[in-house]
């Protein structure tokens, strides 16, 4: 019984420490977040002001520490402090944004495998993220999906929206380690060209142009032909 009581006491102390909140924690200084592949820096000054930087733009305002974290601009934005992880978290349109004390290492796509041959592209590939206008987002957040089924130079493109799948079969051309396909379009429109490249980490990228800007899908292997 004494051991059980000791354990319960230890748990109570642990919970009490965790419940102490952020009021006793020094939150001033630099915090680093990542928003769809873009660095977001938050600096909390001791005088109650802050600066936030994103894509070269700087925003200023005031902040106040609370029992659970802090608020920005008189409560317009609330960030919750996680003592165990030493992070500040918030949500933007339902998507989490976490700030930590150390800047995350830059993570980008792998380099293109310029020695890839057509056989390296064979198999089924499923997109997990898309890069457009510098924003790298999980493709699921866009409410869509993309799958490529590659057999020799023939590519089946499956565009997925909810439970609806629209499939188009294209005859591609392979040159200089790139597999190029063109999706047919209406008579008054130009065909949509996609360039598929094998990356050195074993994944593939698929790039097209939308509104005169490049859009790249990154795809993971589902079934790779032997």
Q: What's the CATH class of domain 21-100?
A: mainly beta
172: left (phi over 0), alpha (psi -120 to 50) or beta: beta
Q: Is the dihedral of CA 198, 201, 204, 208 positive or negative?
A: negative
Instruction: Report which of 216, 203, 55, 39 is spatially closest to residue 139, judged by C-alpha positions.
Output: 216
Burial 104-130 (b: 16+ CB within 10 A, else e): eeeeebeeebeebeeebbebbbbbebb
pLDDT confidence band for 186 (50 / 70 / 90): low
Give residue for tokens 């379009």: 185
Task: Give 134-171 pLDDT, tens digit per residue.
Answer: 777 788 777 788 999 999 999 999 988 888 889 999 99
pLDDT confidence band for 19 (50 / 70 / 90): very low
* Span 118-224 CATH architecture: Beta Barrel (2.40)
How many percent of the chain have pLDDT more than 90?
54
In this predicted structure, the answer to whether residue 175 has a pLDDT above a threshold of 90 is yes
Structure tokens at 158: 């499956």
How much is the pTM? 0.62
DSSP string, 144-200: -EEEEEEETTEEEEEEEETTEEEEEEEE-EEETTEEEEEE---TTS--EEEEEEEBT
CB contact at 8 A, 179 and 155:
yes
Of residues 10 and 40, more confidence is placed in: 40
Of residues 125 and 13, more confidence is placed in: 125
Per-residue pLDDT, 6: 45
Domain boundaries, the chain: 21-100, 118-224
21-100 against 118-224: fold identical: yes
Q: Give me the mean pLDDT over the 9-27 stretch.
A: 55
Mean of per-residue pLDDT scores for the chain: 84
Per-residue pLDDT, 184: 82
3-state DSSP assignment of residue 6: helix
């Amino acid at each position: 019984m004494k051991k059980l009581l000791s354990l319960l006491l230890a748990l109570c102390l642990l919970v009490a420490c965790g419940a102490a909140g952020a009021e006793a924690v020094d939150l001033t200084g630099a915090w680093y977040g990542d928003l769809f592949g873009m660095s977001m820096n938050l600096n909390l000054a001791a005088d109650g002001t802050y600066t936030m930087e994103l894509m070269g733009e700087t925003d200023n305002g005031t902040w106040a520490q609370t029992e659970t974290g802090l608020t920005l601009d008189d409560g317009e934005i609330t960030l919750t402090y996680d003592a165990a992880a030493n992070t500040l978290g918030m949500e933007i349109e339902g998507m989490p944004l976490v700030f930590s004390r150390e800047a995350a290492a830059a993570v980008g796509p792998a380099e293109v495998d310029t020695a890839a041959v057509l056989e390296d592209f064979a198999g089924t590939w499923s997109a997990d993220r898309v890069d457009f206008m510098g924003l790298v987002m999980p493709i699921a957040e866009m409410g869509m999906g993309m799958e490529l089924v590659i057999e020799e130079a023939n590519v089946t493109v499956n565009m997925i929206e909810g439970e609806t799948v629209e499939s188009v079969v294209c005859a591609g051309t392979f040159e200089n380690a790139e597999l190029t396909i063109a999706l047919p379009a209406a008579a008054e429109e130009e065909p949509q060209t996609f360039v598929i490249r094998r990356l050195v980490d074993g994944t593939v990228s698929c790039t097209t142009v939308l509104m005169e800007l490049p859009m790249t899908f990154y795809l993971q292997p589902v079934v790779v032909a032997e």
